[in-house]
Structure 1
Amino acid sequence: MKTIKQLIISGLIILAPMIYGVSVYSELPTKMATHFGIDNTPNGFMSRSFFIFGLPLLMLLVQILCTYTMVYAAKNKPASRFQEVVAWVIPVFTVILYPATILYNLGNEIDFWRLTVTIVSLVFIITGNYLPTFNGERKQDKRWRGAQFPVGRVLFYGGILLLISIFFNPILSVVLIAAIIIGIFAVMLIAKPHK
């Protein structure tokens, strides 16, 4: 019941920005800039109708699939704090980046690189903090259990460094993201099985 309630609330949050999108629909260009490089130059475009209506529905579908996957992984056990945190990643991204993209296409200046890196770094920090509490389907996998804590630390401290990087050249953020990904794989490979 708690999962269904959470899914309904998160789903409404994902769809809520559509109200703003519909209200300014006629003011938006027919082709909207929706993807940006590290220099904030648009390098990806989407039709206005798909962005305003299709994208939130797509995000809702992804949210439903993610929720189902987490429920299946938990095997009817209460959701861990980590699972509850992960369940809010898509709603947070949508409720921030959807209106920001609309504002950009209405002629406002938006620093998408710093905005996106800030959100990603906060997700890393929060995920890294709660990852060690996640059991799920793989609790019998001793190597995974042994890697959870160090992977969590990589995400947590990597997220802090990534957040600081928004005050420097964007290439530093790219390097840090690559280092975090490599660090996670390295930890997974060398982690000792949990006894």
Structure 2
Amino acid sequence: MKINKKELLLTSLVCLLPLLAGVALYPRLPETMATHWGFDGTANGWSSRAATVFGLPLFILALHLICFYAESHGTNRNMNPVLRTVMLWICPAMSLLGSALTLGTGLGYEMHISTVVPVFVGLLFLILGNYLPKIRRNRIMGIKLPWTLASEENWTRTHRAAGFTWVAAGLLMLLSALLRLHGPTVTVVLLALAVGIPVLYSYLYYRRHEKGGAQ
């Protein structure tokens, strides 16, 4: 698939936008900055000011370029355009959110990490869940299991189930975070269920309708 250079340039620049804020705020930031937080929102990992300001956006940019290359050279040429746009903006959004949290914390603001992160993840699952059923079988994106890749029917049914599961998980993540119902812990549990349920469904469908039928 031909690379859209304008799209690549725009999303890459957004990934690097936090560098401008970091440079402008650099003198006001502490020498050591929190870059990792526990489930309760308490910082438990730190990096130097330079590594935080410059390293985080550059790391996410590198990840973005890898994802962009994989998507542009993949076999999924019929991807839903809305889903493709969402996927290409995940890394830029992560760069903006991650830098906002680290810079804000460095300046002494209370960033409510335990609420913000589950809300972001919940919104992401809610959006992606709406488009998962529309992903055609490919080796780049989706629930890539031996039996989903081998069967169009299994792929379709699995992603239909995953779409419902992800939307439900996203809504519950948002609700738990906004109501402060142990948002991060609930998010981890819902993440496990959102991934595990479609995989289990896919395997059971394979055993019942495909493997069983071949015997």
Name the TM-score, length of structure 2 as normaliser: 0.81
Aligned to 2:168: 157
Distance 1:191 1:101, change over 3 A: farther
Aligned to 1:146: 157
Q: Secondary structure at the match of 1:188?
A: helix
Distance 1:183 1:148, change over 3 A: same
How do 1:36-115 and structure 2 match up within 5 A? 36-74=37-75, 77=77, 79-80=79-80, 81-115=82-116
Shift of 1:78: 5.4
Shift of 1:175: 2.4
CA distance in 2, matches of 1:3, 1:109: 39
Aligned to 1:172: 186
Q: Secondary structure at the match of 1:108?
A: coil
Q: Secondary structure at the match of 1:35?
A: strand
Distance 1:130 1:107, change over 3 A: same
CA distance in 1, matches of 2:123, 2:205: 25
Q: Larger C-alpha radius of gyration, 1 or 2? A: 2
Q: Secondary structure at the match of 1:137?
A: coil
Distance 1:26 1:136, change over 3 A: farther
Aligned to 1:24: 25
Could you list the per-position Cα deviations for residues 105-151 of structure 1 after superposition, in whole angstroms to 9, with x for gaps in the alignment?
Answer: 11111111110100101110111101122226347642323311111
Shift of 1:162: 1.1
Shift of 1:97: 2.3
Whichever residue aligns with residue 56 of structure 2, its letter is L
Q: Contact 1:132–1:149 (CA<8 Å) still a contact in 2?
A: yes
CA distance in 2, matches of 1:8, 1:101: 25
Q: Contact 2:128–2:166 (CA<8 Å) still a contact in 1?
A: yes
Aligned length: 193
Shift of 1:79: 4.4
Q: Unaligned regions of 5+ residues in structure 1, if any? A: none
CA distance in 2, matches of 1:74, 1:88: 20
Q: Contact 1:18–1:56 (CA<8 Å) still a contact in 2?
A: yes
Q: Does the alignment pair 1:182 with 2:193?
A: no
Aligned-residue CA RMSD (Å): 2.2
Whichever residue aligns with residue 178 of structure 1, its letter is A
CA distance in 2, matches of 1:35, 1:74: 36
What is the aligned-residue identity percentage?
Answer: 29
Distance 1:188 1:99, change over 3 A: same
